[in-house]
Structure 1
Amino acid sequence: MSNIPKGSTVLVTGANGFIASHVADQLLAAGYLVRGTVRSTSKADWLFERFDKAYGKGKFVCVEVPDMVQDGAFDEVVKGVSGIIHLASVVTFSSNPDEVITPTVKGALNIITSATKEPSVKSLVYTSSSTAVMMPQANEAITVTKGTWNDASVKAAYEPNAAGYSVYAASKTEAERAIWRATKETKPHFQVSAVLPSANFGPILQPGGESSSSTASWILKLWDGATGLWDFPPQWFVDVRDTAQLHVAALIDPSCDGQRIFAFAETYRWNTLLGIMRKQNPGRKFIEDNENEGADLTKVPNGEAEELLKKHFGHGWIGLEESIKANTATFKV
C-alpha cells in the first residue's frame, strides 16, 4: 500500500550527498521521478551522467537552492511534488554552533513550512541521525527508545572548545525536534516521518569513491592505514542502500506517519572491519588491530525498520561483510 503513486515527483534535498544520491537512485529504481536540489548545479553533473544512463533522460532533474536558510528557500522547488525527503544538512563539522546548528534547524523548518503551502505534498521524510539519539559509548549497556534524545551533545555544543562532532550531533538533534514540534503545532496535510541512520558504509556513487564528509570515507581511511579513527568508539552500522530504501518506505507507507525509523543493522568494531578487509584482500597489508577498543552494547528499537525492508524490498539488513566489500570496490584499484 502506497500513498504516492509511481510516476509521481519526489523532491530530494542535497541530492549530491552520499546518502542523498542513494535515496535518489532508489526512488528512480522504484519508478518515481526525482527533483534534486544542490547549492550549485555544477555539483550535479555526475548525477545526471549516472541517472540519465541508468533510467533515461528526464527522470532526474536538479535545481539550485543556494541557501536553505533564506525564508522561502524551498517554496518554488516543492511545487507539484508528491513527496519530500530532506537530507540537506551542514556537515562542515565546525565547532561553532551558530554555523552548524542554526542553519540546519532553519533549513528543516523552511522545508516543512514550504511543504505546508503546497497541496500536492502527501509525505515528508526528514533525514535525522543516530547522533540525534546519543553519541556512541563503548562498553556501556544503554537502552535507546523512540523517545531518546541526545541532550548531552546539545549542552556540550555551546561549551568552550566544543568538538565539531558534538556540534554536528546537536544540529541533528535540534533539527529533528524542530520538525516534530512544527508537525504537532501546524498539523500538516501530509504525513511526516524521520529516518535515523547509524554509521553508513557501502558503495559510494560519486566517481572517485571518496565522499570525504561521510562515514563511508572511514573505510578508505582504514584502507590507507590511518589510525585516527581510534578516537571514534565502535558503534552500529547500516549499509547506505538499506538507509536509502528505508527513506523510500517511510515516504510511501502510511504506517510510518509520525514514526522515528532506526536504521541500525548491526554493531561493529574497528578490529572487525580490519579483519573483514584482510579476508577480502589477502594480498594487501593493513594496520595492526587496536588493542584497546571496546564494543557498542547499546540496544536500539530497529526491528520495525527491518520489517519495512522486508515488506517493501523483500530482504532484511545487508550484512557488514557485503557492505565493506561494496565500499572498498568504489575506490580500490
Structure 2
Amino acid sequence: MRFSGLARALTHLSASRFITSSSKQTVLVTGASGFLGSVVVDELLAAGYRVRGTARSAKAPRVQKAYASFGDRFQVAVVDDLTTSDLTDAFKDINALIHVGSPLAGKAPQNTLVKGSVDGTLHVLDAALKAGVSKAVVTASIFSLASPAQIHIPNMIGASDWSNETEESAAAAGLLATYGLGKKLAEKALWDFASAHPEVDVTTIHPGFLYGAPGHGQVIDKPVDGTNGYVYQLISGPAGRPVPAQGMPAATHVRDAALLHVLALKAAPSPASKPKRIVAVGPDGRFTWLQAVQWLYETRPELRARLPTVTRKETHNLDEWSRWDSSSAKEIVGFEKFRGWREIVGDSIDGALRREKELGIASAQ
C-alpha cells in the first residue's frame, strides 16, 4: 500500500482549519531548503500562512522556484550563515518564527556542531526580539531529552527529561553524542533567553530520527539526504548484503514533526518556568530494520531484488531501548495520532523512488 498521497491529503485537511485565522500572518522559517524546513514551509502554506524562508545564496533561487505557484505568499530571504549574517531584512514584517536551521551531524565539521548550534539559536532569537516577534517555535531534538547512551536503556523518556551528556562524555562517544550535546546546550540557552525575555513565547519540538518524503523546496541532487539514508540503504547496495545493523529505534514522520511546529504557533503562552516541550516520537515509532525489510518483502514485491537478504540469524531487539512519552503533544497542541513505522518507511521509500525517477537514476536490481 502506498501512503504518501493519503498522508499528504490528511495532513493538509488537518491544517486547513487554520486558513482563515492564519492568512494575514507571516512566519519566518530558517533552513527552508532542508528536509524538515521544506516540509514546515509546505504545512504553513497549506494552513494559509504567508511564509518567508531562509536559504543560502546558492540554494535560494531553487527554493523560490519551487514555490512560485504561491505568488507573494512565499518569499526567500538569503542568509548564508545563521550564526553571523545580518537578519534585519529577513525579520521585516514577520509575526512569528519557526527556527529549524541547525548544523547537522555528518555535514558540519564535528568541532563546530556545539558552538554552531548554540550561536545560531541565540543569533536568530536576538534578531526576532529586535524585530518585535513574540512567538517562536524551535526545533530541538530527542538528544536534548536524553543522550544516545541513555536512549539505549529500557526506560521511559518524556518532556521533563534532560540529557546527561557532557563535553567529556560526548568527546569519548563520538559524532552523534557531540551533535546531541549541541542540541542540549542550544536548548538550555533558549530557555535562558525565554526567562530573560518573557515577551517572547517559546515552544520546542523534539523529533527523533526524521523520515518521509521531502518538501517541495528541499534542495537536493541525490535520491535522499540525511536520516532518510538509513531507509534508503534498505533498497540500495549489492545483492545478497545483510540486513543493516540495528540503529536507534526512535522514528518520526517528517510530516508529523512539521505539523507540530505549525500547531505550536497557536499554543497558549506560558512562562519559561513551565516550558512547552513537545516530544515528537509516537508509540509506533520504534521498529527494527529487520521488521522493515520483512514488511517490504511482503508489501513491495517489485522491490524484492533490491532488498537485503534475511538470514534469520539477525538479533535485532527493541527491549534494550527506551520508550517515549509523547503525551505533551496532546496536552500542548491537541495532537494525538502519530504516523506509525510502516507509513514512515513506506513514505520514505516512495520519496526516494520518485527522486530516482526525477534524477534519471536506474534502479539497482
Q: Is the contact between residue 128 and residue 176 of structure 1 (CA under 8 Å) also seen in structure 2? A: yes
What SS class does the counterpart of residue 152 from structure 1 fall into? coil
Confirm or deny that 1:27 pairs with 2:48: no
Residue 306 of structure 1, CA deviation: 4.6
Confirm or deny that 1:322 pairs with 2:346: no
Residue 90 of structure 1, CA deviation: 0.8
Structure 1 match to 2:322: 298
Letter in 1 for 2:134: K
The CA deviation string for residues 28-56 of structure 1, in whole angstroms up to 9 with x for no partner, is 0000011111122x313443333223xx2
Letter in 1 for 2:339: I
Picking from 289, 299, 317, the partner of 1:270 is: 289
Residues paired across the two proteins, number: 320
TM-score (norm 2): 0.79
Letter in 1 for 2:212: G
Q: Once superposed, what is the RMSD of the aligned Cα atoms?
A: 2.8
Structure 1 match to 2:137: 125
Structure 2 match to 1:47: 63
Letter in 2 for 1:36: G
> Which sections of structure 2, spanning at least 5 residues, go unmatched?
1-16, 358-365
C-alpha distance in 1 between matches for 2:130 and 2:121:
15
Picking from 12, 23, 27, the partner of 1:10 is: 27
Letter in 2 for 1:20: G
Distance 1:150 1:108, change over 3 A: same
Letter in 2 for 1:203: A
Residue 113 of structure 1, CA deviation: 1.1
Distance 1:307 1:282, change over 3 A: farther
C-alpha distance in 1 between matches for 2:331 and 2:137:
18
Confirm or deny that 1:331 pairs with 2:352: yes
Q: Is the contact between residue 194 and residue 201 of structure 2 (CA under 8 Å) also seen in structure 1? A: no
Confirm or deny that 1:180 pairs with 2:180: no
Q: Is the contact between residue 128 and residue 172 of structure 1 (CA under 8 Å) also seen in structure 2? A: yes
Letter in 1 for 2:351: T
Q: Is the contact between residue 97 and residue 157 of structure 1 (CA under 8 Å) also seen in structure 2? A: no
C-alpha distance in 2 between matches for 1:307 and 1:46:
38
Work out the percentage of aligned pairs sharing the same amino acid: 25
Structure 2 match to 1:237: 251
Residue 154 of structure 1, CA deviation: 4.2
User: Which stretch shows the higher mean deviation, 239-248 or 132-141?
Assistant: 132-141
> Which sections of structure 1, spanning at least 5 residues, go unmatched?
none
Q: Is the contact between residue 8 and residue 82 of structure 1 (CA under 8 Å) also seen in structure 2? A: yes
User: Which stretch shows the higher mean deviation, 315-324 or 257-266?
Assistant: 315-324
Residue 110 of structure 1, CA deviation: 0.8
Residue 165 of structure 1, CA deviation: 1.6
**How is 1:1-333 mapped onto 2 (pairs within 5 angstroms)?**
5-40=22-57, 42-53=58-69, 56-70=70-84, 73-93=86-106, 98-119=111-132, 121-136=133-148, 140-152=153-165, 154-159=167-172, 163-187=174-198, 189-205=199-215, 206=218, 210-212=223-225, 214-225=226-237, 230=244, 233-254=247-268, 258-265=275-282, 266-283=285-302, 284-285=304-305, 286-289=307-310, 291-295=314-318, 297-306=321-330, 311=334, 316-332=337-353
The CA deviation string for residues 75-99 of structure 1, in whole angstroms up to 9 with x for no partner, is 3312211110111111153796541
What SS class does the counterpart of residue 113 from structure 1 fall into? helix
Distance 1:229 1:305, change over 3 A: farther
Letter in 1 for 2:315: N
What SS class does the counterpart of residue 82 from structure 2 fall into? coil
What SS class does the counterpart of residue 169 from structure 2 fall into? helix
Q: Is the contact between residue 213 and residue 352 of structure 2 (CA under 8 Å) also seen in structure 1? A: no
Distance 1:94 1:245, change over 3 A: closer
Residue 136 of structure 1, CA deviation: 4.6
The CA deviation string for residues 4-40 of structure 1, in whole angstroms up to 9 with x for no partner, is 7432110000111100100010000000011111122
Letter in 1 for 2:194: T
Distance 1:211 1:172, change over 3 A: farther
C-alpha distance in 2 between matches for 1:73 and 1:268:
43
User: Which stretch shows the higher mean deviation, 250-259 or 84-93?
Assistant: 250-259
Q: Is the contact between residue 95 and residue 163 of structure 1 (CA under 8 Å) also seen in structure 2? A: no
The CA deviation string for residues 196-216 of structure 1, in whole angstroms up to 9 with x for no partner, is 00111111234666342x212
Q: Is the contact between residue 25 and residue 51 of structure 1 (CA under 8 Å) also seen in structure 2? A: no
Letter in 2 for 1:294: N
Distance 1:46 1:94, change over 3 A: closer
What SS class does the counterpart of residue 51 from structure 2 fall into? strand
Q: Is the contact between residue 263 and residue 305 of structure 1 (CA under 8 Å) also seen in structure 2? A: yes
Distance 1:302 1:199, change over 3 A: same
The CA deviation string for residues 59-83 of structure 1, in whole angstroms up to 9 with x for no partner, is 111111112222x632331221111
